[in-house]
A and B are shown apart, each in its own frame.
Chain A
Amino acid sequence: MKTKLQNKIALNIIRIIAALVVLILLFLLGDILISGVPHISWHFLTSASQSFESGGGIGVQLFNSIYLLLLTLIISFPISLGAGIFLSEYAPKNLFTSIVRMAIEVLSSLPSVVVGLFGFLLFVVQFQMGFSILSGAIALTFFNLPLLTRNIEESLRAVPDLQREAGMSLGLSKWRTVMRVILPEALPGIVTGVVLGAGRVFGEAAALIYTAGQSATNIDFGNWNPFNAASPLNLMRPAETLAVHIWKINSEGVMPDASAVSAGASAVLIIVVLLFNIFARIIGNSLYRKLTATK
């Protein structure tokens, strides 16, 4: 009887804790969405921001955030994939491997503001890249790399060794086995990792303030020549992102509707991250089904 009671108490405590976590999350999400969603309109999503008058939008910042995220993924994904494959499939147990692993751990524990200042000193000042999308994307790559590498390594490691033996016993080289057997099977885990990393990157402000800059220059959405300074695709223009915009409005915003813009922008940020999550999961699952023939 006593064991049963103990079990019941423990179970209920765990339930309460779990409910608490969910409640806090719901409260946070609800608060942001309730105060933010009423301010979202097509005009708000597409027009440029205003510094002194009310009625400004977040169009440029929204575009900057998405563009920066894409650039970061384009730079960091191949590097992480290579590093992850090396660590999980090829790395011998020696000094070099443990140094690589330690470097990744140190990198992942760096505060993002330190990454931002490092990016500022090295890329913005030393390499004279200025406040630019490229500087921002490289800083975010430092930020994203350790997480993504670790995730890809673990996803590959989770594929049973039996699959590697199957590939090898059919005369496939180790490389082909990894690329055609192991990687497809690890894909859902990798996609989840990319999404989690993307959410972090999308909401990151501290690493961008000193790298991608705090100004949203007017860009011409009719001009898609990446070498033109007014083009949205230009890599060397300063680009304030949504998260940086929220931080700036709240610390030094002087427009009359600052709190409304901040609330609306926060809601948009959260909605975009949620959407990104959902889409990536759908894509990841359908890719997995296609590669593995599971219905």
Chain B
Amino acid sequence: MSIEKYNFSEKNILQFDTSKHQLAIVTQGLQVYYGDKHALIDGDLEFERYRITSLIGASGSGKSTYLRSLNRMNDNVAKVEGKILYRGLDVNSSMINVYEMRKHIGMVFQRPNPFSKSIKSNITFALKEQGLKDKKKLDEIVELSLKDAALWDEVKDDLDKSAWSLSGGQQQRLCIARTIAMKPDILLLDEPASALDPISTSKIEETLVELKKRYTIIIVTHNMQQASRISDYTAFFHMGHILEYGKTKNVFTTPQIKATNDYISGNFG
């Protein structure tokens, strides 16, 4: 089946009434270029605080590119233009201390990437780099963040074992624990469950639903069931354009844009 041509000027993007909703992060006119390729065109999205927002779309639609721009992980590979507003600051400005910013906007990647260190050091490592030396405090953070990531009960007796001795799903939850140990505001997840089995996936999903009480979560996913299960809002990406953004229920049941409807009903992607 050939991909239909859609009219990219036809969009349906939700905008929040800021007197009722608190925004965590906002992008305005975000453009991303890989060399000559314009990979993301006019990215305008607002993310509500303490909610889970899913970014869906086919491979190459620009959703991962968009996500990675939010904490400047694309700096060395792409040219990013436009505004990323976080707490009144433009994250995309050259004045921003990216290392400091990434402590506030953490990221979990597609494939689990724990450090080749012990389970405990995986969590304490970055904290120690920041100068936190108090052992009691560090132990406390290790326990809390492992509990938050729903991993504590499985590893509490093996904290000194290598992180590579864990299963893939446990490694991914360790990576989540490692990220929330930094106490970020926003958690960016790039297809965190795509390399995992269904049981591990559902554990990650439960963890995320629990975590949204204290964190704003933005998640890229290929799995539309996952998006509809856990997220409050959903944005649909297609060929570098964000075509539809709204409440997850609305996007999945009554999409306003033809491309969204075709994608959700499985006509392409």
Contacts and interface: CB of A to CB of B under 8 A. Distances in A.
Q: Which 9 A-B pairs have the closest CB atoms?
A: A293-B118, A162-B113, A170-B126, A292-B116, A169-B107, A171-B103, A171-B102, A294-B162, A166-B113
B115 A163 contact: yes
B161 interface: yes
Interface in B17-35: none
Given A180-B129, A294-B162, A169 B116 contact: no
A169 B100 CA distance: 10
Q: Is the interface of A mostly helix, strand, loop or mixed?
A: helix
A293 B182 contact: no
Given A181-B115, A293-B121, A295-B161, A172 B129 contact: yes
Interface of B: 71, 73, 99-103, 106-107, 109, 111, 113-119, 121, 125-126, 129-130, 160-164, 175, 178-179, 182
A162 B117 CA distance: 15
30 contacts: A165-B109, A165-B113, A166-B114, A166-B115, A166-B175, A167-B115, A168-B73, A169-B71, A169-B73, A169-B179, A170-B106, A170-B125, A171-B100, A171-B101, A171-B102, A171-B126, A171-B130, A172-B99, A173-B99, A184-B116, A185-B116, A291-B116, A291-B117, A292-B162, A293-B119, A293-B121, A293-B160, A293-B162, A294-B116, A295-B162
Nearest to B178: A170
Nearest to A289: B162
A165 B118 CA distance: 18
Interface in A139-178: 160, 162-163, 165-173, 176
A186 to B, nearest CB: 10
A61 B126 CA distance: 49
Interface of A: 160, 162-163, 165-173, 176, 180-181, 184-185, 291-295
A295 B164 CA distance: 11
A293 B73 contact: no
B109 A162 contact: yes
Nearest to B97: A171
Nearest to A184: B116
Nearest to A176: B129
Contacts of A180: 125, 129
Contacts of B161: 293, 295
Contact of A292 (B109, B111, B117): B117
